[in-house]
Amino acid sequence: MKPRGETLVLNAESLTPEGSAWLIVEMVGRPGRPVEIGADPVLIGSDEGCKVVIDDPHVSRRHAEITRTPAGIVLRDLGSRNGTLVGRIAVKEVVLSSGTEIRIGKTILRFEMGGEAGRLGRLAHEPVRDEELAGAPTSFGSAIGSSAAMRRLFALLNRLAPTELTLTLVGETGTGKDVLAHAIHAASARAAHPFVVFDCGAVAPTLIESELFGHERGAFTGAVAARQGAFERAHGGTLFLDEIGELSIDLQPKLLRALEQRKIRRVGGSQDVPFDLRVIAATNRDLETEVAQGMFRQDLFFRLSAAVLRVPPLRERPEDLPGLVERFLVEGGRPLALAPETGEVLAAYEWPGNVRELKNVIAAAGALATGPTLAPKDLMFFRQQQKPAPKSSDTLPLSDSLPLAGQSLEAVERAAIEQTLRHCGGNRTRAAKALGIAASTLYEKIKKYGLGDD
């Protein structure tokens, strides 16, 4: 009987059943003991007859098993008393992927396949070492950040970008997930091939299947010609599935099937079309919670969880503000100096719209500035300050330093919309996204305030 406190470490990357696979049993105070996953199922439980025995009162006698199947290496719960958890989600059956953490009782399990797959799994889940962080760059593609959080993220992306791993970027709206996705593509072996963006939240539900998979002529009313979908257009390159959490639950099985079989079928078509591409996904939602609530399919969640990277919000890294402000001022053609008190006001703001909101605020401030220095009076925040700015002998009272104080909400809203439209060159779709509202809402407000041409 094995002592309590052991940890079973499993790493798996490949979804195919070929190749060597190992269950590494690590016990406290002892070197790890590998158990090979062969043709026979590996039974896990508290019974002495199991291949992997866990001495834990929370573990059933025959708790779970790992089996090779044509679809991949599958973990199955065998009707255990306390369940088998992957992440925080109780599962009945799941195809294992790289670095998946499994909890049985108080024991953590991982699965590892030999060769390149195991190496990629370790790349995705090994923490960034101190020496690696010390030498980490302060930029990745066009994304910049000198904070420890961003340098840690950049170090991970430098590891993972050259690989073929599916990456999922998780973070609040406006944190720059799309910028990072483009940089990952540019740093990969697929950089010379297409980078196709598919925004799952910006396409009408009735058109998503056609936009993703394409359609044949006559497939539906208005389909006057055959058309390639996002998968076909991204062949050879990278498909960026932005806001994947917005995808309809009805379409999620079709997306999963395409990702697993590496082929699609156009709407109205009868032939499968193979594709070769890498997938990067992004979401501002907690997908584990969505799975628990039945809003996101568990199997698709695990398929996208080979490497999940969190993009920190701007309020957690105020040290990145000066560099970002300088970048946005240069981009706007106004390389102004930043007054110390202006930096204090910027650092005091919560930035609910993150980097995207900062870019818009600086663009508006650059247009309002009358001297060589960006002053607090030039700042126009789209939302009310969440906390007071730090005190400074040179800082004006909030009502004097910020032009929004004392204005009506309608006046503030009108000014925000007007300046954002100007910054976006009149592009209403971009402006709506920058403001964090639906395009239809923006159209209504443009009409309300008389800002449009119609």
Q: Tell me: the pLDDT tens digits for 243-272?
A: 999 999 999 999 998 988 899 999 999 999
Q: Which of 434, 431, 324, 422 is nearest to 368 (CA)?
A: 422
- Rounded Cα distance, 207 and 216, in Å: 13
Q: Which two tokens stand for residue 251?
A: 């379409």
Question: 2 pLDDT exceeds 80?
Answer: no
Among the listed residues 189, 179, 295, 316, the one whose alpha carbon sits nearest the alpha carbon of residue 248: 295
pTM above 0.95, yes or no: no
Which two tokens mark 54? Answer: 């866990």
By DSSP bridging, strand 102-104 and strand 84-86 are antiparallel
6: nearest Cα among 76, 113, 86, 106? 106
Q: Please write the tens of the pLDDT for every residue from 140-185.
A: 999 999 999 999 999 989 988 998 888 999 999 999 999 999 999 9
In the chain, pLDDT over 70 holds for what percent of residues? 81
Q: What pLDDT, on the 0 to 100 scale, is given for residue 394?
A: 39
Q: Is 96 left (phi over 0), alpha (psi -120 to 50) or beta?
A: beta
Q: What are 51's two structure tokens?
A: 């291949």
Res 27: pLDDT = 41
The predicted structure's pLDDT at residue 392: 42
Round to whole Å and give the CA distance between 174 and 176: 6
